[in-house]
Structures are given as structure tokens and as C-alpha cells.
Amino acid sequence: MTANFSGKVVMVTGAGGNIGQAVARRFAAASATVVLVGRSKNELSAIADEVKGVVGVADVTDPASLDALVKQVEGSHGKIDILAHTVGGYNAGTPVHESGIDVWEKMMTLNARSVYVSCGRVAKHMVEHEVKGRIIAILAKNAY
């Protein structure tokens, strides 16, 4: 990444995971203000210290939780210029004919609902505040 993101606010969901951490590091190295999103402060503390990022705790599958975080970021930083959504995964191991519907529901929540909620809530913020931003969704190969 050779661009300069100084003055830009970048929200990274799944910032406690490997891909989220790598994305956060790159944006921080490019001088962005990075908002690290995860389910708990604990999972984000190491990367937050490393990139001097702002911790945002939210459940990215819950619209009310994401709305509250977007409002918090608006209050602290005024806007969100970029969303990098890195939440996702795959529940491997048990063949589908041996799995229960709970596996399906977990996979759909993790890989589809999280994208819909996160991207939709941040897009709403961008439209309402006339932010000419970007939304990036990184998904696991097995998730599509």
C-alpha cells in the first residue's frame, strides 16, 4: 500500500483475527486512524497497542450493536471513510449429512449476516453524512 491515508478513518471488523490484523497494520502504516472492531477489548488489546488503534467493541451480526458503534465513531472522529470487513470463517470437519442445522445457522450468521449488517450500517452512515468512502469485504474462499 503506497497511498497516504492521513486524515482517513478506517474501521476494520474482525480486527482480532489474522486477516483483520494484517489489514489494520497496513492502514496504520499508511497513516490512517484505525478503528479495530471485535467482540471484546481483550481480543483487540495487542493489535490496538501495536497500531495505536481505537478499540470498538460490537457484535457485527447485531444491527443495534453496529449502530451504537457507528454513532460512537461519529462522535469521536466525525466520519468513517473506509470499512474493511474481515469477519468470516468456515466450520469444517463434519460432513453435511451428519451436521445439524445449527452448523448452517452459524455459517450463515458468520459469513452472510455479518456482511449485511456491517456493510449496510456503515453504508447508511456514509450516505447520510455524504462520505465518499469505500467498503471492502474480504471473505473466506470456502464461505462463498
The CATH number that applies at residue 109 is 3.40.50.720
CA distance 72 to 62: 16
Tell me if 87 sits within 8 A of 60, measured CB to CB.
yes
Tens-digit pLDDT profile for residues 13-61: 999 999 999 999 999 999 999 999 999 999 999 999 999 999 999 999 9
Domain count, the chain: 1
Has residue 65 been placed in a domain?
A: yes
What residues are paired with 10 via a beta bridge? 34, 82
The reported pLDDT for the residue numbered 89 is: 84
Has residue 24 been placed in a domain?
A: yes
Looking at every residue in the chain, the average pLDDT score rounds to 93
Tell me if 26 sits within 8 A of 52, measured CB to CB.
no
Nearest to 126 by CA among 134, 118, 138: 134
Tens-digit pLDDT profile for residues 103-137: 889 889 999 999 999 999 999 999 999 999 999 99
- All cell numbers assigned to 85: 470487513
Has residue 61 been placed in a domain?
A: yes
CA distance 130 to 136: 18
Has residue 117 been placed in a domain?
A: yes
Has residue 4 been placed in a domain?
A: no
The reported pLDDT for the residue numbered 141 is: 64
- pLDDT band for position 71 (50/70/90)? very high
- Give the range of the structural domain holding residue 29, as residue numbers without chain letter: 9-143
- pLDDT band for position 97 (50/70/90)? confident
> How many angstroms separate the first and last alpha carbons of the chain?
26
- pLDDT band for position 144 (50/70/90)? very low
> Could you please report the per-residue DSSP string of 47-94?
HHHHHTPEEEE--TT-HHHHHHHHHHHHHHHS---EEEE-------SS
The reported pLDDT for the residue numbered 95 is: 83
Has residue 126 been placed in a domain?
A: yes
Has residue 1 been placed in a domain?
A: no
